[in-house]
Amino acid sequence: MQVRKTTIPDAYEFTPKVFPDDRGLLVVPFQADLVAETVGYPLRLAQSNHSVSRRGVIRGVHFADTPPGQAKYVYCANGSLLDVIIDIRLGSPTFGKWEAVRLAANTYNALYISEGLGHAFLALEDNTVMNYLCSTPYTPARERAINPMDPALGLPWAEHLDGAEPILSVKDTDAPGLAEAEAAGLLPKYQACLDHYASQRANA
């Protein structure tokens, strides 16, 4: 398994080895020990999510109040998608920055996204399947969203949509922009996130 630090601190890309034979292939997209070694503490598995999207669907930008937040390990089980990690932690040296990574069922790469980071993706094909391993269960009172079309974020959807209209949920369409979310006190604080990561390392 190859591990790469992304340009967003506390987010990593994992690319597993593939073992093909005349029957097909075997790949292990998640290895708990390696994730714990990379991050400094294990990913507690509280929930597994499975989404299916048609081409042009954008899901996100989603995050949860931190602490406890919700760490995610995500990979594409069918089709392909453009996954975007956004640093929305107030006070972070990379606040407002993002990195886009193509995840696909034929490359088997995955992303670990720490608590407090924003996450969104665009389905590049019909029947694109995203699998999420989550550290905490879905808790509506703590779930937050930022509009993925906010021009202040400048996320790279248009260049991958080929002129098609993006497909968003009502929740994401109605979500505030980054500045509105900051003004409303919805964004995680960088130091609170660092303290949360440190407490988990101390208890690992």
Q: Catalogue the active-site residues.
A: 62, 132
Write the DSSP symbol of residue 165: P
End-to-end CA distance of the chain, in Å? 22
The answer to whether 118 and 166 have CB atoms below 8 angstroms apart is no
β-bridge partners, 98: 86
The answer to whether 141 and 38 have CB atoms below 8 angstroms apart is no
Q: Is 135 exposed, middle or buried (0-12, 13-18, 19+ CB in 10 A)?
A: buried
Contacts for 23 with CB less than 8 Å, ≥ 6 apart: none
The Cα-based distances of 66 to 17, 32, 95, 107, 142 in angstroms read: 33, 22, 16, 31, 9
Instruction: Tell me the C-alpha distance between 86 and 77, whole Å.
Output: 22
**195 phi and psi angles, rounded to 5 deg:** -65, -40
Instruction: Tell me the C-alpha distance between 197 and 146, whole Å.
Output: 23
The answer to whether 82 and 156 have CB atoms below 8 angstroms apart is yes
